[in-house]
Amino acid sequence: QQKVQQSPESLIVPEGGMASLNCTSSDRNVDYFWWYRQHSGKSPKMLMSIFSNGEKEEGRFTVHLNKASLHTSLHIRDSQPSDSALYLCAATNTGNYKYVFGVGTRLKVIA
């Protein structure tokens, strides 16, 4: 059974600080990682995706991927109170196209 583990469970960072979230898959067939953000009471929305080794940057958000260890991380610089949300990591396998999600990291940015 494919599992996606996320850490930490929760994270508190000051406004303007850096938030770092981690995610690892136990399925060696996984080839795509996704990060979704879910604000309280809302549905998840896609933030970023990555399938190549290395990093990808979009504004204040940077995603890293190490395919050998099936580990991805999301870094948010200059964190804002509006970034406070549940961050969900998901992994997909082009063999079966199934999306498997981790439980998430709850981020709180305090002013």
Which residues form the interface with other proteins (CB under 8 A)?
A: 32, 34, 36, 42-46, 49, 88, 90, 92, 96-104
What is the nearest approach in angstroms of other proteins to the Cβ of residue 41?
Answer: 9
Q: Closest CB to other proteins among 40 and 111?
A: 40
Q: Closest CB to other proteins among 46 and 110?
A: 46
Question: In sequence order, which ranges of 33-103 are alpha helices (DSSP H)?
Answer: none
Which residues are bridge partners to 55 per DSSP?
Answer: 64
Q: Closest CB to other proteins among 36 and 79?
A: 36
Q: Rounded distance, CA 17 to CA 35, Å?
A: 20
Q: How many CB atoms lie within 10 A of CB 51?
A: 14
What is the nearest approach in angstroms of other proteins to the Cβ of residue 17?
Answer: 25
Q: Rounded distance, CA 10 to CA 73, Å?
A: 15
